[in-house]
A and B are shown apart, each in its own frame.
Chain A
Amino acid sequence: MKDTIDTILKQYPVNDRGSLIPMLQGVQKQEGYISKEAVVKISRHLRVSRGTVYGVTTFYSQFKFNPPGRNSIKICLGTACHVQGGDFLLNALQLEIGIKPGETTEDGRFDLERVACLGCCAIAPVMMINKNIHSHMSVIKIRQVLSNYA
């Protein structure tokens, strides 16, 4: 893992702040998330403070600080899903698997993310796990749906 970060960093010039975001994107693409180690390495490569790198990383919602789980859950909170009770779904799901959006369960089974629209408003509220859309979701169905993913 250490080497992958280093190979990505080597592609960018030292001491050039402009490369910060491409570097973060590169790391996230390879590793799936931005580790503490990556932040430290990038900060040293670009000679900016760790705080600055962390600040930029938190500014963009595309960057994640947790390693992805085996299954990634996306809860839609777009207009239609919101009206159909997406919020309740998210709350129930948080209770069920014990994590907040942006986090990964301890056993690495799930990670959770909230999205704005999945483009299938007719079957709202929806939840997407990996590439599968689960339509007309309700709080009662959560446990059963999750049991299909190990």
Chain B
Amino acid sequence: MSKARLKNITLTIDGKSVKVAQESTILHAARKAGIYIPTLCFLDGLKNYGGCRLCMVEVKNTHNFQTACTTPVFQGMEVTTKSSGLQNLRREILELILSEHPFTCLVCKDKGECQEFMHTTRKVSVTTGCNFCTSNGDCELQDLVDYLELKEVKFPWIYRNIAPVKDNPFYELDYNLCILCGRCVRVCNEERYSEVLAFVQRGNKTLVGTAFNESQLEAGCEYCGACVDVCPTGSISEKMGSWVGIPDRSTKTTCTFCAVACTMNVNTKGNRIVNIGPKKGERTEPLQLCVRGKFIPGDIVHHPERITMPLIKKADKWIEASWGEAITFIAQNLDKYRGNHFGLIGSAQDSLENSYILQKFTRKTMQSNNVDLLNAFGEKGLVQKIHDHYSVCPPPMIDDITSANTLFVIGSDCSLTHPIIENRIRKAFKQGKQVLAANTLFNRTAYFSNHFIVYQPGEEYHFLLLLLSELLKGKNSKTSKQISKYLKNFDISNLLDQCGVASKDIEKLSNTLQNSENIIIIAGDGVLKTSGSLHNLNALIDIQLLINEQKDCRMMYLFDEGNRYGSSLMGMHPDHFGGFDKVSDPSSVKKWSENWNCKLSSNKGSSGDEMVRNISGDGIKALFVMGDIPPHKNLSGLKFFVQQNMFLTGTSKYADVFLPMSSFMEAEGRIINLEQKLKNIVPAIKPAKGNKPSWKVISEIAHLMSEPGFNYRKAKDILSEIRLFIDFTEVASSDRSTGVQPLGTKAREKTEGYPVSLTIAPDQLHYMGNILTDLVPDLKAISMTPEALQKTETENNG
């Protein structure tokens, strides 16, 4: 807040006048002026460290040299960053650093030529020189040696002789190459708060390590990969893409695994993903990702079992077919099942364009409203409800979490499902903000919360009611009267026992919420994915309303999949068209018939689960599945079943045609994340030969079925059509004047036939229905609760 009021200061660096804010460091000023100062330990956004001493500069009228990364600027300061004295000093420092790092190749006079002779000797297990190192060509030490023109190192080389760690699932550690810059230790503790790495021992025995030299997993590592991103040497190197070489292209795109939709940078060489991490030269300001975003895309995209050619089943065997053949085959068969016999199940990790085309195809071409997403929420209307709520109370931005006074996290295991949200929660906690959390199980968030409440599984709703009734105490406003009227249906005194919580916990929770100015409520799977989630939502909204009477309270729903909200908005839902226009409402049927210039069915659509249950007799006869769904024996009763996926799965054995799918690394698109921001997916690599984005495949099928209105040439064409029909501005509306009415809480009805067969357990991470731990077994490491955590759970409860 006070930042805006900071004065600007003018100083001269190498004769160039620079204007920067007060409290900046010399390094910041120099970077702003485009003047290079060498650094090794500096990390943007973290506390000043001043460990490597390479950024020494001369400041006029001060004795000694100053480190640019820690020295604040002052008015009229005169800085020299390059002089022969400074360069000599830096050379000397670098020599000392290199005396503990294999340096022979670094200062070899033939280093330019040796590459061509050394090809075959690269994959040795001990790194004794640059040519044996995975970071060759992308190493900050190499850059520094070149910059300082270091020709020899006069100190003897000390080889620490530590066995490299290779049993880590995602990266290898070779501390013989470590220069102890401390970047990994600091990023682990100060940015990610995983608190795994630390300096152990001292003097020349100092090493980066974990407590009691445990493995990283035992020490509680979450494999966010932040240490890999910042390491200036080859000491921490990624397993995937290690020996692929230096990336020749970087693409900024969006991760679609979860709804945080982080921006990520994909480094590629040719048509292969080398890694997902910072671009060369941007290591000091890496984008923070989680294990899924950082390590998984490359693994699934270049997975050896990936299918790249369409397959048609003939006599129970998969026969490869050409794209033309497969598409014609599908079009001919689907033609027989127009109407209510056709169903389509898509994925919430698909782009807006794909979702739009899939539902347009189902509704327009197939004359059916049976379109749904895999793993839909416990209640059909939930996303729409959230949409309605967000249109009057927009969600907070992800970075707002850190600036709120109080956070209330309910039903979320976000260290696993949304690690970046968890990271912001931890940041807030470390900054002294109040973090209150409630869940059915003790989880990692508990370490970063002031108050952690464990309630009985399935009692989310009653827990929220308890909180609501506590918040109502002593309130006399119109809203509170209305809400307390609803609450009369409940016997509050019994609920405490039912939820298994103490009344003082609820009191504490309510007091903290009422006494803070700026509150963000974060609701996760526990609230959104259980049966009766609509009721949970109503209760939460009422809580928000009550607090909002005096304070500022905002709500964030943690959708699991990247485009859960966007896909639903596009109309991937049996009950509504794009823009949440109800199918049951004749005026919206008319509107969309006009939009698409066709006749639309106003039959009630079935949800994915109903589709699978109704396969037999007069129910669903043809099914199109985008991605994967959990296999179900009913699927064998289908007359025609098309699956488009990256891999053959348990469900594929029921399929008649299998089409390869382009992942989000290969196809262009857009998604809407949980902040309701439109984010771009930029293809980083080209898909396998002949592979097309899903919307193109569908358009071609529609075209063969003589259906007009599918003439798209680029994904952009679809987007402009979407923009014509669906109001995007509504999404970003920030008009809060209309206010929300209390939604009322009714006794929860037993939902009959609660959809379960198409649900993937919340702790199973997936991409388009494909379970990631099956594809990348190493990921199992993080989805397990670490032993250490289980132990502490019993201790804390006891």
Residues of B within 8 A of A59 (CB): 200-202
Q: Does A70 contact B (CB under 8 A)?
A: no
A50 touches B201 (CB 8 A): no
Chain B contact residues, CB within 8 Å of chain A? 189, 195-202, 209-212, 219
Give B448's nearest chain A residue, CB to CB.
A47
With A51-B219, A53-B211 as given contacts, are A58 and B201 in contact (CB-CB < 8 Å)? yes
- A50:B211 contact, CB within 8 angstroms: yes
Nearest to A52 among chain B residues (CB) is: B198
Instruction: Tell me whether A52 and B201 are in contact in the complex, defined as CB-CB below 8 angstroms, given that A36-B212, A39-B211 are known contacts.
Output: no
A50:B189 contact, CB within 8 angstroms: no
Could you tell me if B212 and A55 are in contact, using CB atoms closer than 8 angstroms? no
The verdict on A130 contacting chain B, using a C-beta distance below 8 Å, is no
CA distance A50 to B189 in the complex (A): 11
Give the residue name and chain of the A residue nearest to B203 (CB): A59
* A4 in contact (CB, < 8 A): no
Is the Cβ of B200 less than 8 Å from the Cβ of A58? yes
> How many positions in chain A have a CB within 8 Å of any CB in the partner chain?
13
Query: Is A49 an interface position by the 8 A CB rule?
Result: yes
Which of these, A36, A48, A49, A55, contacts B200 with CB under 8 Å? A55
C-alpha spacing A6/B201, complex, angstroms: 26
Contact present for B202 and A52 (CB under 8 Å): no
Q: In the complex, which residues 40-76 of chain A have their Cβ closer than 8 Å to any Cβ of chain B?
A: 48-55, 58-59, 65
Q: A50-B219, A51-B209, A54-B210 are in contact. List 20 more A-B contacts (CB 8 A).
A: A49-B189, A49-B196, A49-B198, A51-B189, A51-B196, A51-B197, A51-B200, A51-B210, A51-B211, A51-B219, A52-B195, A54-B200, A55-B198, A55-B199, A55-B200, A55-B209, A58-B200, A58-B202, A59-B200, A59-B201
Contact partners of A48 in chain B: CB under 8 A: 195
Complex CA gap A39/B200 in Å reads: 14
Question: With contacts A36-B212, A49-B189 known, is A54 near B201, CB below 8 A?
Answer: no
Closest residue of B by beta carbon distance from A61: B202
Q: How far is the CA of A53 from the CA of B199 in the complex (A)?
A: 10
A49-B188 Cα distance, complex, nearest whole Å: 11
The 3 residue pairs across chains A and B that have the minimum distance between CB atoms: A51-B198, A49-B195, A54-B211
> Total A-B residue pairs with C-beta atoms closer than 8 Å?
42
Closest-by-CB residue of A relative to B197 is: A51
Name the residue on A nearest B791 (C-beta): A40
Q: What residues on B are CB-neighbors of A65 within 8 Å? A: 212
| Of B196, B210, B212, B219, most A-chain CB atoms within 10 Å | B212
A52 to B210, CA, bound (A): 9
Rounded to whole Å, the gap between the CB of B704 and the closest CB of chain A is 61
Q: For B201, give the chain A residue with the smallest CB separation.
A: A58
Taken together as a complex, chains A and B put the C-alpha atoms of A54 and B220 apart, in Å, by 15
B798 to chain A, nearest CB (A): 11
- Contact residues in B for A49 (Cβ distance below 8 Å): 189, 195-196, 198, 211
- List the A residue with the shortest CB-CB distance to B430: A47
Contacts of B197 in A (CB 8 A): 51
Q: Bound complex: CA of A116 vs CA of B197, how far in Å?
A: 32
Closest chain A CB from B40 CB (angstroms): 21
Minimum Cβ distance to chain B for residue A16 (Å): 14
Residues of B within 8 A of A52 (CB): 189, 195, 198
Smallest CB-CB separation from A56: which chain B residue?
B198
Closest CB of chain B to A78's CB: distance in Å? 19
Bound CA span A53–B200, Å = 9
Contact between B195 and A51, CB atoms less than 8 A apart: yes
Q: Which residue of B lies closest to A50 (CB)?
A: B211
**Could you pull out 13 A-B pairs where Cβ atoms are within 8 angstroms?**
A49-B189, A49-B196, A50-B211, A51-B189, A51-B195, A51-B197, A51-B210, A53-B211, A54-B211, A55-B198, A59-B200, A59-B201, A59-B202
Residues of A within 8 A of B202 (CB): 58-59
Interface residues of A in 89-144 (CB under 8 A from B): none
